[in-house]
Amino acid sequence: GSYGADLYIIKKGKGEIIKKGKEKEFKIAEVEEGNIVGEIAWILGEKRSATLKAKTDMEVLRIDGDVLKKKIMEGKRGAVLFLFELLKLESKRLSLTSQEIVDILEKYIPTDEIANLKEKILKTIAF
Protein backbone atom coordinates (compact mmCIF):
# COMPACT_ATOMS: atom_id res chain seq x y z
CA GLY A 1 0.00 0.00 0.00
CA SER A 2 2.98 2.37 -0.16
CA TYR A 3 3.45 4.94 -2.89
CA GLY A 4 6.06 4.12 -5.46
CA ALA A 5 7.02 5.52 -8.83
CA ASP A 6 9.54 2.84 -9.71
CA LEU A 7 9.13 -0.36 -11.70
CA TYR A 8 11.16 -3.51 -11.24
CA ILE A 9 12.30 -6.19 -13.65
CA ILE A 10 13.05 -9.52 -12.01
CA LYS A 11 16.54 -10.56 -13.09
CA LYS A 12 16.82 -13.65 -10.90
CA GLY A 13 14.62 -15.66 -8.57
CA LYS A 14 10.95 -16.30 -8.00
CA GLY A 15 8.27 -14.55 -6.00
CA GLU A 16 4.56 -14.28 -5.34
CA ILE A 17 2.27 -11.31 -5.78
CA ILE A 18 0.09 -11.02 -2.68
CA LYS A 19 -3.12 -8.99 -2.53
CA LYS A 20 -4.88 -8.23 0.75
CA GLY A 21 -8.57 -8.99 1.00
CA LYS A 22 -10.84 -7.74 3.75
CA GLU A 23 -9.87 -10.56 6.08
CA LYS A 24 -6.90 -12.41 4.58
CA GLU A 25 -4.19 -12.33 1.94
CA PHE A 26 -4.39 -14.06 -1.44
CA LYS A 27 -1.64 -15.11 -3.82
CA ILE A 28 -2.76 -13.71 -7.16
CA ALA A 29 0.31 -14.49 -9.26
CA GLU A 30 3.74 -16.03 -9.35
CA VAL A 31 6.60 -14.09 -10.92
CA GLU A 32 10.03 -15.04 -12.13
CA GLU A 33 12.95 -13.88 -14.23
CA GLY A 34 11.87 -11.39 -16.88
CA ASN A 35 8.61 -10.34 -15.22
CA ILE A 36 7.88 -6.69 -14.46
CA VAL A 37 6.34 -5.61 -11.15
CA GLY A 38 5.34 -2.24 -9.72
CA GLU A 39 3.85 -1.04 -12.99
CA ILE A 40 0.31 -0.48 -11.76
CA ALA A 41 1.34 2.13 -9.17
CA TRP A 42 3.54 3.78 -11.81
CA ILE A 43 0.79 3.86 -14.45
CA LEU A 44 -1.96 5.04 -12.11
CA GLY A 45 0.14 7.25 -9.85
CA GLU A 46 -1.46 5.58 -6.84
CA LYS A 47 -0.42 3.41 -3.91
CA ARG A 48 0.90 -0.02 -4.73
CA SER A 49 -1.98 -2.46 -5.10
CA ALA A 50 -0.13 -5.64 -4.10
CA THR A 51 3.04 -6.90 -2.43
CA LEU A 52 5.88 -8.95 -3.90
CA LYS A 53 7.09 -11.70 -1.56
CA ALA A 54 10.25 -13.56 -2.49
CA LYS A 55 10.08 -17.37 -2.71
CA THR A 56 13.80 -17.60 -3.48
CA ASP A 57 16.70 -15.18 -3.41
CA MET A 58 15.85 -12.47 -5.92
CA GLU A 59 17.74 -9.90 -7.90
CA VAL A 60 15.76 -7.04 -9.44
CA LEU A 61 16.54 -4.13 -11.72
CA ARG A 62 14.93 -0.88 -10.56
CA ILE A 63 13.64 1.43 -13.26
CA ASP A 64 13.16 5.01 -12.12
CA GLY A 65 9.55 5.73 -13.07
CA ASP A 66 10.02 9.49 -13.27
CA VAL A 67 12.98 9.15 -15.62
CA LEU A 68 11.05 6.62 -17.72
CA LYS A 69 8.08 9.00 -18.05
CA LYS A 70 10.41 11.81 -19.09
CA LYS A 71 12.08 9.63 -21.73
CA ILE A 72 8.69 8.52 -23.07
CA MET A 73 7.49 12.13 -23.32
CA GLU A 74 10.70 13.01 -25.18
CA GLY A 75 9.94 10.20 -27.62
CA LYS A 76 13.09 8.22 -26.82
CA ARG A 77 12.85 5.01 -28.83
CA GLY A 78 13.93 2.63 -26.06
CA ALA A 79 11.46 4.10 -23.58
CA VAL A 80 8.61 4.02 -26.10
CA LEU A 81 9.40 0.38 -26.98
CA PHE A 82 9.45 -0.48 -23.27
CA LEU A 83 6.04 1.18 -22.86
CA PHE A 84 4.67 -0.80 -25.81
CA GLU A 85 5.93 -4.08 -24.31
CA LEU A 86 4.41 -3.08 -20.97
CA LEU A 87 1.09 -2.41 -22.71
CA LYS A 88 1.18 -5.89 -24.25
CA LEU A 89 1.97 -7.42 -20.85
CA GLU A 90 -0.90 -5.57 -19.15
CA SER A 91 -3.29 -6.58 -21.93
CA LYS A 92 -2.33 -10.23 -21.49
CA ARG A 93 -2.76 -9.99 -17.72
CA LEU A 94 -6.20 -8.38 -18.14
CA SER A 95 -7.25 -11.10 -20.55
CA LEU A 96 -6.14 -13.86 -18.15
CA THR A 97 -7.84 -12.17 -15.21
CA SER A 98 -11.08 -11.77 -17.15
CA GLN A 99 -11.03 -15.47 -18.03
CA GLU A 100 -10.43 -16.40 -14.39
CA ILE A 101 -13.44 -14.29 -13.37
CA VAL A 102 -15.60 -16.04 -15.95
CA ASP A 103 -14.36 -19.45 -14.76
CA ILE A 104 -15.30 -18.57 -11.17
CA LEU A 105 -18.68 -17.24 -12.23
CA GLU A 106 -19.46 -20.39 -14.17
CA LYS A 107 -18.50 -22.54 -11.21
CA TYR A 108 -20.49 -20.74 -8.53
CA ILE A 109 -23.32 -18.83 -10.17
CA PRO A 110 -26.38 -20.18 -12.01
CA THR A 111 -26.12 -19.94 -15.80
CA ASP A 112 -28.81 -17.27 -16.28
CA GLU A 113 -27.05 -14.97 -13.80
CA ILE A 114 -23.69 -15.51 -15.52
CA ALA A 115 -24.86 -13.85 -18.73
CA ASN A 116 -25.94 -10.76 -16.79
CA LEU A 117 -22.67 -10.62 -14.83
CA LYS A 118 -20.54 -11.13 -17.96
CA GLU A 119 -22.34 -8.20 -19.56
CA LYS A 120 -21.75 -6.00 -16.49
CA ILE A 121 -18.06 -6.96 -16.37
CA LEU A 122 -17.56 -6.26 -20.06
CA LYS A 123 -19.24 -2.86 -19.71
CA THR A 124 -17.01 -2.08 -16.73
CA ILE A 125 -13.75 -2.86 -18.53
CA ALA A 126 -14.76 -1.51 -21.95
CA PHE A 127 -13.54 1.90 -23.04
pLDDT digits 0-9 by tens, 15-74: 999 999 999 999 999 999 999 999 999 999 999 989 999 999 999 999 999 999 999 999
The answer, yes or no, to whether residue 112 has pLDDT greater than 80, is no
- Structural domain including 13 reads 1-63
Alpha-carbon span 40 to 47, nearest angstrom: 9
Residue at which a domain ends, from 14, 32, 63: 63
pTM equals: 0.75
In a domain, 69, yes or no: no
In a domain, 72, yes or no: no
Tell whether 90 and 116 lie within a shared domain.
Answer: yes
The answer, yes or no, to whether residue 127 has pLDDT greater than 80, is no
pLDDT digits 0-9 by tens, 113-123: 777 877 888 88
